[in-house]
Amino acid sequence: MSNFENILEVKGLITEFQTDSGWVRAVDGVSFDVPKGKTVGIVGESGCGKSVTSMSTVDLLPKPMGQVKGGEIIFKGRDLRKIDHDEFYDIRGGEIGVIFQEPMTALNPVHKVGRQLTEVLLLHKNISKSEAWKEAIDILDKVGIPSPESRVNEYPHQLSGGMKQRVVIAIALACKPDLVIADEPTTALDVTVQSQILELINSIQKEMGMSVIMITHDLGVIAETCDEVVVMYAGRVVERGSVMKIFKEPQHEYTRALLASIPSLDSPRKSELTTIPGTVASITNFVDGCRFCQRMERTGETLKVKPELVEISPNHWVADCPFCNNHGK
Amino acid sequence: MSNLLEVNNLKMHFPIRGGVTMKNVGFVKAVDGVSFTVKPGETLGLVGESGCGKSTLGKCLVRLYEPTAGQIVFEDDDITKLSQSELRPLRKDIQMMFQDPAESLNPRFSVRQIIREPLDIQQVGKKSERDAMVLELLEKVGLPASAISKFPNEFSGGQRQRIGVARAIALNPNLLVLDEPVSALDVSVQSQVLNLLVELQKELNMAYIFIAHDLAVVKHISDRVAVMYLGKIVEIADADDIYHHPRHTYTKTLLSAIPVADPTIKKERIKVEGEIPSPINPPSGSAFGHRLNHPKYEETIGLDMPLVEIKPGHWVAADPCCLSKEDYIKAKALV
């Protein structure tokens, strides 16, 4: 690696799932870049396709029901969709690490922590078992696990939730990846532990210079950890740009409503919160046109085609629906 | 009657059985000496990390658990020792609403059956009138009348939680215990349900005990907030007071750990190692002082650290590890 400005470029990603009612499109033409050394957040409500997007990039969709049907996933100049299965094994876990949401289910309950950590090292590095074991202890130490020499011999159930998440992070970082995908890394954790874990990811990122994709539904986590944000709604990107732009000058009505609906510590007690009427349409009922117009039940003249992302100012893109933002053409 | 609910030194210890004879080998002290009051029409928020005993406390209040010790006084009656049949008429006045709308609604019941059930059990009005009551309740929680013959699986998470609200308010309770009512919901839907709860409280003059781990949500809806750590309340005060002038280090730590949805604010974090200890063998001294590795921890072993009213309406545990010097001197004088 070296001279790529963006470690990952996702272009027009389409992912579909086979269901009883045919193929449904969970991700519909999502594009974004992950610059080197930066953290990009993907935020949206449940079912918006943020996890499917990230799992598509590392080929971890449930098969054969889930399939990437279109688009390009350019990682360090290579299209990951075009490389073969064996090569993908080297990249996933090696050059791309994944931190999963539930540390309880991400770890194998019947294997020792050390074995789960060395597994990834032995797979990707040409080292002996004892070297791997030594390295595993080093990594556990780095992610802030006290007395790692004895912890490597423990089973996941002997660790607390925060400790387990540290082990999951250790596994993701074991091979010093260039890109880490963190899928709701702190959702299952308490706030005090969450802040420990976010700080850990942040400090390791600075030290190793890796890029991070942070997937979360928590706008607070995004504001604190990310450089850039991708806001998704119903399988599509509605707005993306720098954290400052998105939080301070949100253009899409959905982004604005999402930010306004979080109760803040400064808002007056029991005041009325901004809401978004209705709920997200079911995936089988998605319209071709603007899906946020569908949610708002806007009738009359609406967009019949998929709104394109337009760049309204440098590195600030918004879905071009004349009803959902003021910047439409 | 100034207080709707009064809880005195409530304890809930779950026995741990082990060995072949299933002998009692210890206790999980989930709730360990909790006292507070709730006034009619007010909201008391209950916050803390997982395992602090907040949900157990909620379940004790509606007697889903039999408390080990202590006293629950509701409308001047001691309900701690009432039998289930004696409790039944009281159920009208205290209702509970649960976290997961998918699990707390019977999937084989239609919405009519779900909301009618409490009305039928308590024999409210005439049988023929109850369907009309259900429709009225549906309207109150913002669901269409057509919902009445549908089943829970036909609704989204937010709508299911509205059904849960309708069932909880069906009997016009004076007190509603809400256990994490919005934590399973997305933010945009969460704000809908919060608005609904605020509106209903104004309309029906219910008191709420609002249990949640999301401090911003609790702050939004509560008049007073109690912070729990390891089975005990460490601080209880007016919501604005506790958020702007917290006294206890644990409250300060919790508040400083919330990520703020504003990239221009860089917060000062109070760093704390580790996690909440197990309530099976809690530290013998100051529980949070232990987690902080506080130099004064040794002093607190065996020390009685009751809640004291450090300022009118603001109660805090007299813990030398977790209070500022001035506050502790003040608190100690009050013990």
Q: What is the pLDDT of residue A181?
A: 95
Residues sharing a CB contact under 8 Å with residue B92, sequence separation 6 or more, in sequence order: B122, B171, B172, B173
Contact B223 A269 (CB under 8 A): yes
Boundaries of domain holding B134: 106-170
pLDDT class of A3 with cuts at 50, 70, 90: low
**Is the domain of B145 the same as that of B220?**
no
**Is the domain of B132 the same as that of B246?**
no
| B119 found inside a domain | yes
CA proximity to A140, closest of A112, A119, A117: A117
* Nearest chain B Cα distance for residue A66, angstroms: 24
- What letter represents residue A323's amino acid? F
* Domain final residue pick, B144, B170, B196: B170
Contact B259 A221 (CB under 8 A): yes
At B289 the three-state DSSP class reads helix
Model confidence, pTM: 0.89
**Quick check: A299 pLDDT over 80?**
no
pLDDT class of A327 with cuts at 50, 70, 90: low
pLDDT class of A73 with cuts at 50, 70, 90: very high
Residue of chain A nearest B267, judged by CA positions: A224
User: What is the average per-residue pLDDT within A153-163?
Assistant: 89
Mutate to test the interface with A, among B50, B52, B188 (most CBs of A within 10 A): B188
| B99 found inside a domain | no
Q: Which of A160, A248, A275 is facing B275, going by the closest CB pair? A: A160
**Is the domain of B246 the same as that of B297?**
yes
| B209 found inside a domain | yes
Contact B159 A222 (CB under 8 A): no
| B238 found inside a domain | yes
Query: Distance from first CA to last CA of chain A, Å, rounded?
Result: 40
**Distance, CA of B45 to CA of B26 (rounded, Å):** 31
Contact B263 A223 (CB under 8 A): yes
Residue B190 CA: distances (Å) to CA of A81, A114, B131, B197, B221: 38, 41, 28, 11, 12
Contact B50 A274 (CB under 8 A): no
**Is the domain of B149 the same as that of B258?**
no
Contact A190 B187 (CB under 8 A): no
**Quick check: B288 pLDDT over 50?**
yes
Query: Any idea what the CATH number is for the domain that residue B44 is in?
Result: 3.40.50.300
**Distance, CA of B210 to CA of B218 (rounded, Å):** 7
Contact A258 B187 (CB under 8 A): yes
User: What is the average per-residue pLDDT within B139-155?
Assistant: 92
**Is the domain of B181 the same as that of B141?**
no
Q: What is the pLDDT of residue B237?
A: 96
* Domain final residue pick, B170, B188, B220: B170
**Is the domain of B165 the same as that of B130?**
yes
Q: What is the pLDDT of residue A329?
A: 41
pLDDT class of B66 with cuts at 50, 70, 90: very high
Mutate to test the interface with A, among B44, B52, B187 (most CBs of A within 10 A): B187
Residues from chain B that touch A271, judged by Cβ atoms under 8 A, are 220
**Torsion sign, CA atoms A278, A32, A226, B262:** negative
**Distance, CA of B279 to CA of B70 (rounded, Å):** 19
pLDDT class of B95 with cuts at 50, 70, 90: very high
| B100 found inside a domain | no
| B269 found inside a domain | yes
Contact status of A249 with chain B (Cβ, < 8 Å): no
Exposure b/e, B204-238, CB count within 10 A at least 16 = b? eebbbbbbbbbbbbbbbbbbbbbbbbbbbbbbbbb
**Distance, CA of B169 to CA of B205 (rounded, Å):** 11
Residue A145 CA: distances (Å) to CA of A136, A138, A140, B108: 11, 10, 6, 47
CA dihedral A196, A202, A208, A209 (to 10 degrees): 170
Residue A233 structure tokens: 């709604």
Q: Which of B191, B216, B269 is facing A274, going by the closest CB pair? A: B191
At A56 the three-state DSSP class reads helix
Tell me the pLDDT tens digit for each residue of B190-205: 999 999 999 999 999 9
Residues from chain B that touch A263, judged by Cβ atoms under 8 A, are 191, 194, 216-217, 219-220
Residue A38 CA: distances (Å) to CA of A6, A35, A212, A220, B299: 9, 6, 6, 18, 47
Contact B261 A46 (CB under 8 A): no
pLDDT class of A326 with cuts at 50, 70, 90: low
**Is the domain of B122 the same as that of B177?**
no
Contact A269 B216 (CB under 8 A): no
* Nearest chain A Cα distance for residue B104, angstroms: 20
Contact B198 A218 (CB under 8 A): no
Residue A260, classified by CB atoms within 10 Å of its CB into exposed (0-12), middle (13-18) or buried (19+), is: middle
* Domain final residue pick, B170, B194, B210: B170
CA proximity to B289, closest of B268, B309, B267, B305: B305
Beta strands in A148-243 (DSSP E): 179-183, 211-216, 228-233, 236-242
User: What is the average per-residue pLDDT within A77-84?
Assistant: 91
**Distance, CA of A29 to CA of B151 (rounded, Å):** 35
Question: Which residue is listed with tokens 């556990």?
Answer: A140
Neighbours of A327 (CB within 10 A): 15
Residue A288 structure tokens: 């071709």
pLDDT class of A162 with cuts at 50, 70, 90: confident
**Is the domain of B87 the same as that of B132?**
no
**Is the domain of B126 the same as that of B263?**
no
pLDDT class of A105 with cuts at 50, 70, 90: confident
Residues from chain A that touch B216, judged by Cβ atoms under 8 A, are 262-265
Question: Which residue is listed with tokens 């400790």?
Answer: A163
The one-character DSSP state at A267 is S
Reported ipTM: the value is 0.84
Residue B229 structure tokens: 């750590």
CA proximity to A174, closest of A149, A147, A137: A137
**Quick check: A183 pLDDT over 60?**
yes
| B303 found inside a domain | yes
**Quick check: B186 pLDDT over 90?**
no
At A133 the three-state DSSP class reads helix
Mean confidence (pLDDT) of chain A: 90
| B101 found inside a domain | no
Q: Which of B220, B259, B273 is facing A269, going by the closest CB pair? A: B220
**Is the domain of B53 the same as that of B160?**
no
Number of domains making up chain B: 2
pLDDT class of B1 with cuts at 50, 70, 90: low
User: What is the average per-residue pLDDT within A137-156?
Assistant: 90
Q: What angle do CA B63, B67, B70 make, to 5 degrees?
A: 115
**Quick check: B211 pLDDT over 60?**
yes
pLDDT > 70 fraction of chain B, expressed in percent and rounded: 100
Contact status of A258 with chain B (Cβ, < 8 Å): yes
**Is the domain of B163 the same as that of B178?**
no
Contact status of A220 with chain B (Cβ, < 8 Å): yes
Q: Which of A243, A258, A273 is facing B194, going by the closest CB pair? A: A273
> Within the 35-54 window of chain A, which residues sit less than 8 Å (CB to CB) from chain B?
45-46
CB A181 within 8 A of CB A59: no
Q: What is the pLDDT of residue A1?
A: 44
**Is the domain of B305 the same as that of B208?**
yes
Tell me the pLDDT tens digit for each residue of A200-257: 999 999 998 999 999 999 999 999 999 999 999 999 999 999 999 999 999 999 999 9
* Nearest chain B Cα distance for residue A197, angstroms: 11
